[in-house]
Homo-oligomer: A and B are copies of this chain.
Amino acid sequence: MIPEEVLRVAEDIREMRVRGASRIARAAVEALLLAAEKYQGSDPGDFALYMRRVAEVLVSTRPTAVTLPNAVNYVVSALRGARGSVEELRGLVVERCRSFISYIDSALDRIAEIGSRVLSSGDVVLTHCNSLAAIKVIARAHERKGLSRVYATETRPRFQGLTTYRMLSQAGVEVVLIPDSAVRYVMREVDKVVVGADAIAANGAVVNKIGTSLIALAARERGVDFYVAAETYKFSPYTLIGELVEIEEREASEVVPADLLAKHPLLSVRNPAFDVTAPEYVTGIITELGVFPPAAAALVLREMYRSEPGAEAPALVRGVEEE
């Protein structure tokens, strides 16, 4: 009996009407909040079961997203070992949902603050795709110190570069759009690269929009600093125990228009959504807890997943252990 509205959010995530690692996490938590509020029974055990079912439905929509289980586990782990009436349990869940949502916002703000310090007045910055965290860092730095110019990649196949252009030019930043294949061509003029992340592995490897790892190669060749802006709930606890981050491959029609595909029935297309940037190319990961070298990711993860409820970072570990 999962409410319609909750199922609709699940569907939106599955069909990618909700996109971006943070937005997905937020949508899932909002759905959990809604589910908790809509529950009408009075049996505490049934409530726990119901919440767990909702959690499973949400997590299954995008099996390769990292923020999804991180967020959902954080919320439902509040019920583990908890006793009390439905009202009391609901209260626990609601509180977790609210604290997570407010954490998302404050983390982004803190990242903007910290990240703006690594940029200097007059810098030329390059960014890729459309990352909220990276854009906030760039906009805050421009507001504080004035940047010269931002190169934004067009980001094929879905062309998110235009959205980045719109967001940054609203913040008064001068933006130059380039084809993805021109990143090395402009790299000689670039002072720093700032990108976002969909997930961070325990060894500091960064999973982000396809093409990111090429930018990292080109930055390394010129000694250009390469920063990743990412909230700590994008760190994948499962990679600590050896799990690889799975890369989603999407439909051919994003690359080749459907009519052309129809004409070439034998044409095969690969369309990976993300790639993995090795830690040795990453100067620093800008999180709400500070700027870390990628090699520190494993220890950030261990610290996060041992901390108590109410600690600064969400204590996701129980959910993980339980699964």
Contacts and interface: CB of A to CB of B under 8 A. Distances in A.
A127 interface: no
Contact of A244 (B120, B210, B223, B242): B120
Given A177-B255, A177-B256, A268-B176, A242 B156 contact: no
A124 to B, nearest CB: 12
B184 A214 contact: yes
A117 to B, nearest CB: 3
Nearest to A223: B222
B180 A156 contact: yes
A241 to B, nearest CB: 5
Nearest to A209: B181
A179 interface: yes
A219 to B, nearest CB: 10
A241 B118 CA distance: 9
A218 interface: yes
A203 B118 CA distance: 12
Given A120-B244, A176-B270, A241-B290, A214 B222 contact: no
Contact of A179 (B114, B157, B240): B157
A176 B241 contact: no
Contacts of A295: 293-296
A55 to B, nearest CB: 23
A279 B293 contact: yes
A264 B291 CA distance: 35
Interface in A257-296: 260, 264, 266-272, 275, 279-280, 283-284, 286, 290-296
29 contacts: A114-B242, A115-B242, A117-B243, A118-B244, A174-B268, A175-B268, A176-B268, A178-B270, A180-B181, A181-B210, A181-B211, A181-B214, A182-B211, A182-B270, A184-B213, A202-B290, A202-B291, A203-B292, A214-B218, A217-B218, A221-B223, A222-B223, A239-B291, A240-B291, A241-B290, A291-B298, A293-B294, A296-B296, A296-B298
Interface of A: 113-118, 120, 154-157, 162, 165-166, 169, 174-186, 188, 202-204, 210-211, 213-214, 217-218, 221-223, 239-244, 247, 255-256, 260, 264, 266-272, 275, 279-280, 283-284, 286, 290-299, 302
